[in-house]
């Protein structure tokens, strides 16, 4: 068998795979929107799951009142 170039055993390469907290079944809470949620905004009174589109409509007003924000827009 002839090998050209470098060969690397994939198991020997440390790769950090991002883990999503939001599940595929988590949907946007905005009205009739059925899009997947990529943002969870947690307030002292509860949480709101939003798609990227609805979160980007008013991020400043959401985040000023939020206790915590989970942003998984990298997975879009």
Whose structure tokens read 């949907």? 27
Cβ contact 40:29 at 8 Å: no
Mean per-residue pLDDT of the chain: 86
Whose structure tokens read 């943002």? 39
Provide the whole-model pTM: 0.75
The H or E element containing residue 49 is strand 46-50
Q: Where are the domains positioned within the chain?
A: 23-75
45-71 pLDDT, tens digit each: 999 999 999 999 999 999 999 999 999
Cβ contact 42:49 at 8 Å: no
Within a 10 A sphere around the Cβ of 14, how many other Cβ atoms?
5
CA distance 15 to 33: 35
């Amino acid at each position: 068998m002839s090998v050209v170039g470098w060969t690397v055993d994939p198991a020997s390469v440390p790769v950090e795979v991002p883990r999503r907290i939001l599940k595929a079944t988590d949907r946007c809470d905005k009205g009739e929107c059925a899009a997947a949620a990529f943002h969870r905004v947690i307030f002292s009174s509860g949480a709101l799951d939003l798609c990227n589109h609805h979160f980007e409509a008013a991020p400043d007003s959401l985040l000023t009142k939020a206790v915590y924000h989970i942003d998984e827009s990298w997975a879009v």
